[in-house]
Amino acid sequence: MTRHEDMAGRVLAVVVRALPFHRKDWGQAMRAELAAITEGPARRQFVRGCTRAVLLSGTALRTLAGYVGMLVFAAVILRQTADLPSAGVRVEAIGLIAVITVLAWCGRRRGALGPAGIDLVPRLIRLAGYAAVMTTVAVLLTTGTNDPTGWWLAALAVGVYLTGFLRATTQPAADALSLPIAATLTLVGLAVWWVPMLLLIGVRAAPILTFLVACALVPAGTALGSRTGSPIKGTLSGLAAAAVTLLLFFLAAVLTYRLAPGLVPDIAGPGDAGGLTPAAKAETNQIESIDPYVADFLLGAVLSGILTAVSVRRRPGVATGIRRFPGEVYPADR
């Protein structure tokens, strides 16, 4: 085989890597057919045709867009870390970007975190998970960036959230919980709190309401699961919804108070209480108003970590190779 013929094989090997996991058989078929072609011009023509087919397919374009998005995100965050006042936070932020990159890579490989389910719902939820995580990182880099001893905990929570999103959208986990139920409960829970929060000062003055709303999602999931004959599946879906909703509560509160400072509750007191200047008072009010939602953020990460740990545990003595949640009844068990 000449150098040019071998180059054709290398090019095709790179091209098929753009295919998602569930289309890998197509890539293997291309490589097998190329191996049967011996003429150099024919090999190159075949590779050109395969390249066009792969690059013009929707799955490859989405994969390429994902890679570009991750690169842009990493570049923006790294640029933002250069302006951070704390060297410790800069190191931790760079480490977080590395962790996110590794997790994203694992999400495309067969294993506990990947690949995503073949249906549209898990793919959309995984995409939304990436968006939520990226937004969270951007928010954290402008919140408490002078405290490396606390920032690492927030960075750890981000990693746990992303791991949870990836695990929940794999095929085994998607079979063990209802992603449509979880997504619906998440959106309903966010709307139930956020809309009144925008309109009523009493809701903004009572951050504990977010915890109550998140707790209510669990029995709601159980009830919805019972209607389909799987209360445990519904409960797990409710727990997953609660974890994600707690993250969204945090993001909604932070972004709302930044974009609409007039909605920030007056915690510092009227007038020049405490000797604060108007600017210092506004900053204090915003910080104090956001602090309670940090607890939501961390609690959601703990819940996400627990669900992820449970979902990857195999039931002993089962030879089907299917990852299960405790208590679920499968046809093979009957």
Residues in the chain, total: 334
Q: Is the dihedral of CA 95, 132, 20, 73 positive or negative?
A: negative
Q: Which amino acid would we find at residue 330? A: Y
Tell me the two tokens of residue 104: 């994203």
Give the model's confidence band at 328: pLDDT under 50 very low, under 70 low, under 90 confident, else very high. very low
Q: What is the pLDDT of residues 292-304, one digit of tens each?
A: 999 999 999 999 9
CB atoms near residue 204 (< 10 Å): 19
Which pair of structure tokens corresponds to residue 155? Answer: 């960075």
- 280 pLDDT more than 70: yes
Bridge partners of 114, per DSSP, are 111
pLDDT of amino acid 110: 83
- Give the C-alpha distances (Å, rounded to integers) separating 218 from 76, 173, 197, 215: 37, 18, 22, 6
Residue 311, pLDDT above cutoff 90: no
**DSSP tag of 23:** G
Instruction: Please state the φ and ψ torsions of residue 57, each to the nearest 5 degrees.
Output: -80, 145
84 against 243, higher pLDDT: 243
Q: What is the mean pLDDT of residues 46-54?
A: 85
Instruction: Output the six-digit token pair for 138.
Output: 């951007």
Res. 265 pLDDT band, cuts 50 70 90: confident
Tokens 């006042």 belong to residue: 85
Q: Binning pLDDT at 50, 70 and 90, where does residue 198 land?
A: very high
What are the backbone dihedrals phi and psi of residue 111, each rounded to the nearest 5 degrees, phi first?
165, -160
Most confident of 16-30, 224-238, 307-321: 224-238
Across the chain, mean pLDDT equals 82
Residue 86, both tokens: 């704390």
**Which tens digits make up the pLDDT trace of 101-123?**
899 888 888 888 978 877 888 88
The Cα 232–Cα 238 span in angstroms is: 10
Greatest mean pLDDT among 4-18, 140-154, 167-181, 238-252 lies in 238-252
Give the C-alpha separation, 38 to 6, whole Å: 11
What's the pLDDT score for residue 319?
36
For the chain, what are the domain ranges? 3-55, 58-333
